[in-house]
Structure 1
Amino acid sequence: MTTRTLPDLFTWLEDARRTGVVHYDERQRAWLVLGHPEVTAVLGDPQRFSSDLGDLLPRQDDLELFRRGNFVQLDPPRHDTLRRLVSRAFTPRVVAGLAPRITTVTGELLDEVADAGRFDLIDDLAYPLPVIVIAELLGIPAADRTVFRRWADALFERPQAGPDEPLARMMDDDAVRTIAPVLREMNEYLLRHVRARRAAPGDDLTSGLVHAEADGERLDDEEIIGFVGLLLLAGHITTTATLGNTVATLDRHPDAAARLRADPGLLPDAIEEVLRLRTPFPRLARRATTDTTVGGMTVPAGDVVVAWLAAANRDPRVFADPARFDIGRSPNPHLTFGHGIHFCIGAPLARLEARIAMELLLRRYRTITVDTGAAVFRNPWVMLAPTKLPVAVTPA
């Protein structure tokens, strides 16, 4: 099987851009949207470009159950109603209040490898940190995080995805059958958790969802499964990717790493630049609800539209010298967290976790050197993220 690499993806995207910032790709059987303003237009108009791709998916009970509360795949008005139920858990004040806990957890995780001189950044920090934080927020045992990682790996590993793979094939009967056992295990686990919280509420987000109302009605236990599952998976995987990508990028740019050690106040901008250059989720799919126009091209109703965030984030019309890593880039209007009503609700938390973790890493270690030969990355057509990132460190 062909190994997909990050340079392969960026080369393909630039070749595709030369065909047109919006064009139909016969191999992928979808419209590719590659420009920043064009992607912004697609993501910002849920009436013309629907997030509900349910009719493209095979009917399968485990998948249907998980989709019920997954507001990422819903359109207004139901999307808006469900999103409001969790928005209070991610207000700036609530997120800022998590900073002491994030700092404590980061310190504890680094203490565990303090004498090693070498550790795996993903296994020992970038994965457990955000999982512990989101699990505690949901009232789920963080000790089960090895199970959660197995779920995420099964759902986000699509080794066959690539330039010749029709998007529909990633959602066909075979694909669904492959992930069905994982979805079933996840649904059953989360259903037990939801029912336990209904019987004995606690001071956590799941308990709040159990007693919340949507459109004047209480959510049923099965509907909450998709909610909690989405928050659990999405609540950690972007931070895990961002931390891994940041360390990998700074390893390639030691001058930038030195600047950040000298002035940690530059970290937020540096992390934004990593998010732009290594967009964790490179593309989002939409469905045209009517004959419509984007980027001067007419898209027929019912056609699949793929908004390539990774290409939009390197649009030379918006970003000067777009392939260059510039921690001082300003403005930096990247679309990594989306745009419009589906803008990532956990973006403030992901940014906070990445900043605090990087501050502590740079403070503790004078050098952080990636063993590039042992690093392992996901298929970038699915996700831009390392799954293994061994590092050798020198204490400060």
Structure 2
Amino acid sequence: MQQVSSQDRWLAQLAWCKQMRKQSPVYYDEQHRLWNLFRYEDVVSTLADPATFSSHIMPPAPAQDSEESFLSSWLKGDITKMDPPQHRHFRGLVSQAFTPRVVEQMTPRICEITNTLLDEVAAKGEMEFVSDLAAPLPIIVIAELLGVPPEDRDRFKVWSNTLIDSTSVQPGDKNRLKEVIPIFQEMFAYLQNFCQARREQPRNDLISHLTQAQFEGRMLNNDEILAFVTTLLVAGNITTTILLGNAIICLNEHPDALTAIKADSSLLPSAVEEILRYRPPFTATMRLTTRDVTIQEMTIPAQQLVITWLHSANYDERQFPDPERFDIRRHPNRHQAFGHGIHFCIGAPLARLEARIALDILLKRFPSLQIQPDARLEAYASPFINGVKTLPVNW
């Protein structure tokens, strides 16, 4: 199996991070004007201190053209870029949809969706794992949560894929902006109309709930709700798609673990946690210093961009014994795949549940499932996303 640049890039990143943890745990990249943090303790302490390390990393600047103006206005409403107290109020509204209690109630429906998707490919003896299961499963779940009609779910798939691809687009990249902005505009126009319809005729769905919610003594406007929905598309969708693909890769690479899970499905919860540690969907997150701060005897000035390498933290020998070993019984396993602190991934409970259910059903229905030997797996363009776009499997 030739695992593209996906595998090559992943191994290269791990080797680089291992070297940096030992030699330069706090490193300034002069070319990109970025500070890099590699050790577990530094990553966690940084993410736990929003007063010093701000998530509001988009500096205000006058828009140069319509594409940049559109992108700037969208980012202003991005909850992942907010700091307290604004973040606390907005997250409180969205998080109601992702509490463990609410998520657990989705179990029967997630099982039903998974089986329906697998029914469609069972007789073929093969499938494209991402497009046939890993992508549609969370899209259907999040679409139903939002109240989106079934006939519009294919649109959400296109929009979600564009959201993933856009992570590698730089604000100054005019050509790529002109490609993705029209797709975003289509999505936002649809959601604007959808929000307005729910505002006028509320139903029992999340969009209706948000149209009736209040923030700082006023009703949320459609732009704010739209920003929430975009966040949910990422938190409740993309994370699961990448996690499921990474799970198949990990279990294909470690047949002993796969055999153990088939024999005892109670190992799945801890196996999912180890998959998240071993191959986290996202490799890093970024912050902006609000003051001078010293880490590992290095002083980072105020107003500096800092990258916290989540996957490096997950392989830190100081936190995880024998970190390069894939151990589905690892305990404790305080990985940083979902981040830490106030921006801990809001969709984590849903992603965990979807992964456990989908893998359990998949391995019971297709116990001989394997990645096709001649498969060529294409990685996402962004160095901050650790996953594959396609994953051909057979059984």
Q: TM-score range by the shorter chain?
A: over 0.9
Alignment match, 1:164? none
Segments of 5+ residues of structure 2 without an aligned counterpart are none
The 3-state SS of whatever aligns with 1:298 is strand
CA distance in structure 1 between the aligned counterparts of 2:130 and 2:298, rounded to whole angstroms: 42
Alignment match, 2:236? 235
Following superposition, the deviation at residue 66 of structure 1 comes to: 2.3
Residues 208-227 of structure 1 aligned to structure 2 (within 5 Å): 208-227=209-228
- Paired residues of 1:65 and 1:223 also in contact (CA < 8 A): no
The 3-state SS of whatever aligns with 1:260 is helix
> Once the two structures are superposed, what CA deviation does each residue of 1:6-42 show, in whole Å capped at 9, x if it has no partner?
2222223223334311111123310001111100011
Alignment match, 1:33? 37
The 3-state SS of whatever aligns with 1:246 is helix
> Once the two structures are superposed, what CA deviation does each residue of 1:314-369 show, in whole Å capped at 9, x if it has no partner?
11110111111110111111011111111111100100000000000111112111
CA distance in structure 1 between the aligned counterparts of 2:286 and 2:179, rounded to whole angstroms: 21
> Once the two structures are superposed, what CA deviation does each residue of 1:296-323 show, in whole Å capped at 9, x if it has no partner?
3211011100011011111111011111
CA distance in structure 1 between the aligned counterparts of 2:248 and 2:61, rounded to whole angstroms: 37
> Quick one: which amino acid aligns to residue 264 of structure 2?
D
Alignment match, 1:179? 180
Alignment match, 1:55? 59
- Paired residues of 1:190 and 1:229 also in contact (CA < 8 A): no
CA distance in structure 2 between the aligned counterparts of 1:87 and 1:388, rounded to whole angstroms: 31
CA distance in structure 2 between the aligned counterparts of 1:227 and 1:347, rounded to whole angstroms: 16
The 3-state SS of whatever aligns with 1:386 is coil
Following superposition, the deviation at residue 293 of structure 1 comes to: 1.7
CA distance in structure 2 between the aligned counterparts of 1:67 and 1:15, rounded to whole angstroms: 34
CA distance in structure 2 between the aligned counterparts of 1:6 and 1:56, rounded to whole angstroms: 34
Alignment match, 2:15? 11
Following superposition, the deviation at residue 86 of structure 1 comes to: 1.6
Alignment match, 2:384? 382
- Mapped pair 1:170 → 2:170: yes
Following superposition, the deviation at residue 254 of structure 1 comes to: 1.0
> Quick one: which amino acid aligns to residue 172 of structure 2?
D
Alignment match, 2:336? 335
- Mapped pair 1:156 → 2:160: no
CA distance in structure 1 between the aligned counterparts of 2:55 and 2:17, rounded to whole angstroms: 23
Following superposition, the deviation at residue 57 of structure 1 comes to: 6.8
> Quick one: which amino acid aligns to residue 108 of structure 2?
P
Aligned pair count?
384
Following superposition, the deviation at residue 113 of structure 1 comes to: 0.7
Alignment match, 1:251? 252
- Mapped pair 1:98 → 2:106: yes
Which residue of 121, 145, 156 corresponds with 2:129? 121
- Paired residues of 2:38 and 2:308 also in contact (CA < 8 A): yes
Distance 1:57 1:306, change over 3 A: farther
- Paired residues of 1:62 and 1:183 also in contact (CA < 8 A): no
> Quick one: which amino acid aligns to residue 33 of structure 2?
R
Following superposition, the deviation at residue 3 of structure 1 comes to: 5.0
> Once the two structures are superposed, what CA deviation does each residue of 1:74-132 show, in whole Å capped at 9, x if it has no partner?
00110001011122211221111000000000010011111010001111111000110
CA distance in structure 2 between the aligned counterparts of 1:56 and 1:260, rounded to whole angstroms: 50
> Quick one: which amino acid aligns to residue 39 of structure 2?
G
Following superposition, the deviation at residue 246 of structure 1 comes to: 0.3
Q: Which shifted more, 75-84 or 140-149?
A: 140-149
Distance 1:171 1:17, change over 3 A: farther
Q: Which shifted more, 262-271 or 57-66?
A: 57-66
Following superposition, the deviation at residue 56 of structure 1 comes to: 6.5
Q: Which shifted more, 230-239 or 328-337?
A: 230-239
CA distance in structure 1 between the aligned counterparts of 2:70 and 2:388, rounded to whole angstroms: 28
Q: Which shifted more, 266-275 or 181-190?
A: 181-190
Following superposition, the deviation at residue 375 of structure 1 comes to: 2.6
CA distance in structure 1 between the aligned counterparts of 2:366 and 2:270, rounded to whole angstroms: 21
CA distance in structure 2 between the aligned counterparts of 1:56 and 1:178, rounded to whole angstroms: 24
> Once the two structures are superposed, what CA deviation does each residue of 1:245-275 show, in whole Å capped at 9, x if it has no partner?
0011101111111100100000011111110
> Quick one: which amino acid aligns to residue 41 of structure 1?
S
TM-score, normalised relative to structure 1: 0.92
CA distance in structure 2 between the aligned counterparts of 1:355 and 1:295, rounded to whole angstroms: 38
- Mapped pair 1:112 → 2:116: no
> Quick one: which amino acid aligns to residue 119 of structure 2?
D
Alignment match, 1:198? 199
Following superposition, the deviation at residue 242 of structure 1 comes to: 0.6
- Paired residues of 1:56 and 1:171 also in contact (CA < 8 A): no
- Paired residues of 2:166 and 2:180 also in contact (CA < 8 A): no
Percent pairwise identity: 43
Distance 1:135 1:240, change over 3 A: same
- Paired residues of 1:282 and 1:380 also in contact (CA < 8 A): no
Alignment match, 1:306? 307
CA distance in structure 2 between the aligned counterparts of 1:8 and 1:143, rounded to whole angstroms: 42
> Quick one: which amino acid aligns to residue 252 of structure 1?
E
- Paired residues of 2:25 and 2:296 also in contact (CA < 8 A): yes
Following superposition, the deviation at residue 227 of structure 1 comes to: 0.6
Superposed CA RMSD in Å reads 2.0
- Paired residues of 1:65 and 1:226 also in contact (CA < 8 A): no
Distance 1:185 1:61, change over 3 A: farther
The 3-state SS of whatever aligns with 1:388 is coil
Q: Which shifted more, 179-188 or 312-321?
A: 179-188
Distance 1:194 1:261, change over 3 A: same
The 3-state SS of whatever aligns with 2:280 is coil
Q: Which shifted more, 210-219 or 380-389?
A: 380-389
CA distance in structure 2 between the aligned counterparts of 1:125 and 1:316, rounded to whole angstroms: 35
> Quick one: which amino acid aligns to residue 48 of structure 1?
T
> Quick one: which amino acid aligns to residue 128 of structure 1?
P
Segments of 5+ residues of structure 1 without an aligned counterpart are 162-168
